[in-house]
């Protein structure tokens, strides 16, 4: 299964069917993005 994650906050946005485990980077919808608080500096 593939996963789409936000390149800004690294949260999972959506999933899609794929033969392999795949990770694609996208962005949250405007206003829905939560900035990482205590992740990486």
> Other CB atoms closer than 10 Å to residue 28's CB: what's the count?
15
Query: Could you tell me the smallest distance in angstroms from the CB atom of residue 39 to Zn ion?
Result: 12
Query: Could you tell me the smallest distance in angstroms from the CB atom of residue 19 to Zn ion?
Result: 27
Q: Is 8 in the site for Zn ion (CB under 5 A)?
A: yes
Binding mask 20-39 for Zn ion (x = CB under 5 A): --------x----x------
> Other CB atoms closer than 10 Å to residue 24's CB: what's the count?
13
Q: Residues 6 or more apart from 32 whose CB is under 8 A from it?
A: none
| List of residues contacting Zn ion (CB under 5 A) | 6, 8-9, 28, 33
């Amino acid at each position: 299964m593939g996963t789409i994650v936000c390149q800004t906050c690294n949260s999972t946005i959506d999933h899609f069917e794929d033969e392999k485990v795949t990770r694609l980077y996208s962005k949250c919808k405007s206003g829905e993005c939560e900035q990482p608080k205590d992740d990486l500096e």
